[in-house]
Structure 1
Amino acid sequence: MTYITSAWAELGGDPALLARVSTVVRADALPARLPVRELARACVGVCALAGAELGARRAALARVPRVRVDDGAVAVSFTSERRLLVDGRAPVAFAPLSRFWRTADGWVRTHANYPHHRVRLLRALGLPGDAAPTAVARALAGRAALEVEDTVHAAGGLAVALRTPRQWTAHPQADAVAARPLVERGRLDGSRARGFAPFDGGPLLPAAGLRVLDLTRVLAGPVATRTLALLGADVLRVDAPHLPELPDQHADTGFGKRSALLDLSSDRRTFEELLAAADVVVTGYRPGALDRFGLSPEALAERRPGLVVAQVSAWGAYGPWGARRGFDSLVQAATGIAVLEGGTERPGALPAQALDHGTGHLLAAAVLRALTEQSYDGGSRSVRLALARTAAWLTGGTEAAGDAEAAGDAGRPAGSEPGEGVRMDEGDGKGMTKKEEPTADAGGLRDAGPWLAGTDSPLGRLRYALAPVSFDGGPRDWTRPPGAWGADPARWL
């Protein structure tokens, strides 16, 4: 079964509609040992097909519009955070303490892009708040990787030990992840079928007139809501005032959206007013973190029947790691992907944050399919995805992962040495990255120009990646650029 076939089946889609999808294959896109290009293509393909299906339903079309997936557009979009330019300035991708580090018995991967995560990491290591990367390297060199993982987690920070695929398979969280479907879908009540307002001409916008309350951060959730905004939704991202977003990250994922600040602990009335008029709520915080505010799917649907609630997390909302924070880079390290893409002596990385971008497009697809299903037989709906489950889908399960691991460093391209093709940046804080080939860019393409665009915005002149979701009659670009973080009022248009 191909990736797109299995993904569409997970979404509950009619298999006959897959005949409406065509692909422009580009062999140089997203080069990796694992089938990253195929997974990314499938995630975008089912997202576009779900949008085309809903658009056809709303416009009463005789046939679902044709979907075209171009590997070039997918590769550029999946590296959008590296494509962005703000007034000609390249974005800041990773902070100095977000990277792989040598430990006494292996490697550990940390994530400290946000200031509060940096503080917690240094505190866990017994270091001052102004500690340099060299001090962190010394502190970690004498410790065991699993000890660092546990200590930093206990302090509220983010660090995971590098694991091989077999080591991850033996972990109880891997068992919990493997027991779940790629896309968890549920019906929460028996509310009536959803009705849609008619289109008023222009592009076919499947999500036109729908209000999406965006409670997400980094990166899968914002990618999902950015995609829904492309397809016509009124997306309002709401953040807590005390948790500012990273400026470049906000610029990359803020296209088509508005951004407001709201303290849920002191202004519940405003939130309830937003919820009362929302059609979709998307959450991307650590599982359980929002439950105290009454934001579980069941509680939300009880107050707003007919709602679609979409959730995304790093490790899944189950198992011993269900309540842990996580990011794409950490999931790659823990699940064995970093070993498969590099080795135990020099961990590697996927050519893009494909777990984030892929899961984000799957999440948007799940929302669109839930809306289509609602139009036939109603019911509040819940959908849930996890980066670790997407990682298991990418690696193909324990047998395929074991075969790849057994190859080890012998699986490297002919003529290369262990570690060739990656760079260990000890001083510049960028961690481990793929070495750029002189004739290819970050996504493996020789020319990314056709899938890049420019626009003026409140943040400055932006160069950005165009959306890869494309179907006949559909939108080609977002209708508004990102604005300043928190600059919009907390109300619907």
Structure 2
Amino acid sequence: MTSSGVTGTGVPGSGVTGTEFAWAALGGAPHLVSRVSAVARDGALDSRLPVRELARACVGACALAGAELAARRSGRRAGREVPRVRVDDGAVATAFVSERHLLVDGRAPVTFAPLSRFWRTADGWVRTHANYPHHRARLLRALGLPADGSAEASVDAVGAALVERSAVDVESAVGAAGGLAVALRTPEEWAAHEQGAAVARRGLLERGWLDSSAVRVLAPLAGDPLLPAAGLRVLDLTRVIAGPVATRTLALLGADVLRVDPPGLPELADQHADTGFGKRSATLDLTTDRRAFEELLASADVVVTGYRPGALDPFGLTAQALAERRPGIVVAQLSAWGAYGPWGGRRGFDSLVQVATGIAAFEGSEERPGALPAQALDHGTGYLLAAAVLRAVTEQLDEGGTRFARLALAQTAAWLVNGVGGGERRPPGASQADSYDGPEPWLTEAGSGLGRLRYALPPVSFAGGPADWSRPPGPWGEDAARWS
């Protein structure tokens, strides 16, 4: 395996903006960053850590990757001809909490379940994640509690059980049972942890090539708007937020995105609606429907995976196996902790990565841990993942090769803790607009098979590009497992 990925600590150099750093990590030509402009808005994603800068950089790099591919497919190669990118803090801040803004027939979304929260332990704090029924059952089983009690009784029982145990003991016991619980750590404690040290040795992302297969050929773009991913078939094997945000963005830019889930593991309804724009949703059991899956794979251009590292390996879905079966494909892989180190095979979510990496301690107080104003690790990594796919396709048009990209929420967290772009609230050349007074300018409504939806508009924007998705989400698993 050959890699051209950016390596090192992931710490921005002096005077480097977040967008410049992200674009360099994606392998983009430095001069193209001049095509990006920003509209800064005070009050957007306010926090102690530079969340606004991270969000702006991830969206800006993604939009630039789309604009670059659009220019390449339109026969324009010079940097001055790449469409201009405009990143508005208001649009970005609204999109980074899109799951909170979604309304289905006027109903507010269900977000975190009662057992997904911070808990006091005998020596500190632990955070659990139990939004899915199977994760809730594993948490309760690990603590020796019945899984059939009421939500209120379960909260009381879990609280009583955890206050008697150490945070690290809970983390270990629940993790061993396949559940999700992470002890609160400071940034210094995470740096001293073996997994934290392994993450620190990596860059923001890893990318490269697996073989020297033929140059990709795509039809020239025509029509309005410019859809740089038109003609690409994206097999979406992701769940929750980061991966679906990436594939939702590729769908915005014209890709035919088919999300495939196991039939016995339904997605949370509101979560699926929020991240399902532009996509179709099908179910397949990879243990019994292998022929149907192989037919999908045989004509896929991109495979995006977001399951725990190793979980899909038995189905021949490692990057190397995919390269052998489908030369010229782009393989984009996402994980919580990275596919390396002692936590390489561990489950994880944004909220838990915030707790482990010191973010929750930094954002909290002496009395209680805190949290970022958005699930910014999920959303930010999602836009970076989409950007990595777009850049890989652009490179294939000139150089060919089966390409891969690997990202991890923990690596994005390291970038945030290390300052992104020096913590600049207003990047050079940004125009200063009014403060961020609410999401209304960046919300819209549409009918769907799920009901009337209010939702956040996409923040990825470049001159001539799309302003909204071509189709609303439908019910989970309702589509046939075949390409359009």
Between Structure 1 and Structure 2, how many residues are aligned?
Answer: 450
1:249 aligns with 2:240: no
Name the residue aligned to 2:139: 121
Residue 344 of structure 1 deviates from its aligned partner by 4.5
1:111 aligns with 2:126: no
Aligned-pair Cα RMSD in Å: 1.3
1:35 aligns with 2:50: yes
Match of 2:329 among 288, 307, 329: 307
Question: 1:388-403, aligned counterparts within 5 Å?
Answer: 388-396=410-418
Name the residue aligned to 1:439: none
Match of 2:63 among 18, 42, 48: 48
Amino acid at match of 2:137: V
Runs of 4+ in 1 over 6 A off after TM superposition: none
Name the residue aligned to 2:465: 474
Question: 1:39-78, aligned counterparts within 5 Å?
Answer: 39-61=54-76, 63-78=81-96
1:158 aligns with 2:180: yes
Amino acid at match of 1:390: T
Residue 345 of structure 1 deviates from its aligned partner by 2.8
The worse-fitting range, judged by mean Cα deviation, of 389-398 and 307-316 is 389-398
1:48-93 superposed Cα distances (whole Å, 9 cap, x missing partner): 0000000000011351000000000000000000000000000011
Equivalent residue of 1:60, what SS?
coil
Match of 1:283 among 305, 314, 317: 305
1:292 aligns with 2:314: yes
In 2, Cα distance between equivalents of 1:148 and 1:132: 16
Equivalent residue of 1:108, what SS?
strand
Name the residue aligned to 1:460: 451
Name the residue aligned to 1:451: 442
Contact kept, 8 Å, 1:226 with 1:255, in 2: the verdict is: yes
Question: 1:217-366, aligned counterparts within 5 Å?
Answer: 217-366=239-388
1:298-318 superposed Cα distances (whole Å, 9 cap, x missing partner): 101111110000000000000
Residue 397 of structure 1 deviates from its aligned partner by 7.3
Residue 180 of structure 1 deviates from its aligned partner by 1.2
Residue 468 of structure 1 deviates from its aligned partner by 0.1
Contact kept, 8 Å, 1:315 with 1:326, in 2: the verdict is: yes
How does the TM-score come out when normalised to structure 2? 0.92
In 2, Cα distance between equivalents of 1:186 and 1:142: 48
Name the residue aligned to 2:102: 84
Equivalent residue of 2:211, what SS?
coil
Amino acid at match of 1:467: P
Residue 147 of structure 1 deviates from its aligned partner by 0.3
Equivalent residue of 1:350, what SS?
coil
Contact kept, 8 Å, 1:44 with 1:469, in 2: the verdict is: yes
Question: 1:197-236, aligned counterparts within 5 Å?
Answer: 197-236=219-258
The worse-fitting range, judged by mean Cα deviation, of 127-136 and 246-255 is 127-136
1:246-275 superposed Cα distances (whole Å, 9 cap, x missing partner): 000000000000000000001111111000
Name the residue aligned to 2:8: none
Name the residue aligned to 1:380: 402
Identity of aligned pairs, percent? 74
Name the residue aligned to 2:18: 3
In 2, Cα distance between equivalents of 1:36 and 1:152: 30
Contact kept, 8 Å, 1:168 with 1:334, in 2: the verdict is: yes
1:102 aligns with 2:124: no
In 2, Cα distance between equivalents of 1:118 and 1:448: 33
Amino acid at match of 2:228: P
Amino acid at match of 1:454: E
1:382-436 superposed Cα distances (whole Å, 9 cap, x missing partner): 00000000000000079x99xxxxxxxxxxxxxxxxxxxxxxxxxxxxxxxxxxx
Amino acid at match of 1:376: D
Match of 1:19 among 13, 18, 34: 34
Match of 2:162 among 140, 151, 166: 140
In 1, Cα distance between equivalents of 2:198 and 2:191: 10
Amino acid at match of 1:85: L
The worse-fitting range, judged by mean Cα deviation, of 389-398 and 291-300 is 389-398
Contact kept, 8 Å, 1:329 with 1:353, in 2: the verdict is: yes
Contact kept, 8 Å, 2:242 with 2:382, in 1: the verdict is: yes
Amino acid at match of 2:396: Q
Amino acid at match of 1:52: A
1:84-140 superposed Cα distances (whole Å, 9 cap, x missing partner): 000000001100000000001000000000000000000000001124201111111
In 2, Cα distance between equivalents of 1:344 and 1:324: 29
In 1, Cα distance between equivalents of 2:283 and 2:199: 34
Equivalent residue of 1:12, what SS?
coil
User: Where do 5+ consecutive residues of structure 1 fail to align?
Assistant: 402-443
In 2, Cα distance between equivalents of 1:157 and 1:345: 26
Residue 228 of structure 1 deviates from its aligned partner by 0.2
Amino acid at match of 1:477: D
Contact kept, 8 Å, 2:100 with 2:111, in 1: the verdict is: yes
In 2, Cα distance between equivalents of 1:195 and 1:343: 54
Contact kept, 8 Å, 1:164 with 1:344, in 2: the verdict is: no
Match of 2:482 among 480, 485, 491: 491
Equivalent residue of 2:188, what SS?
helix
Residue 197 of structure 1 deviates from its aligned partner by 1.1
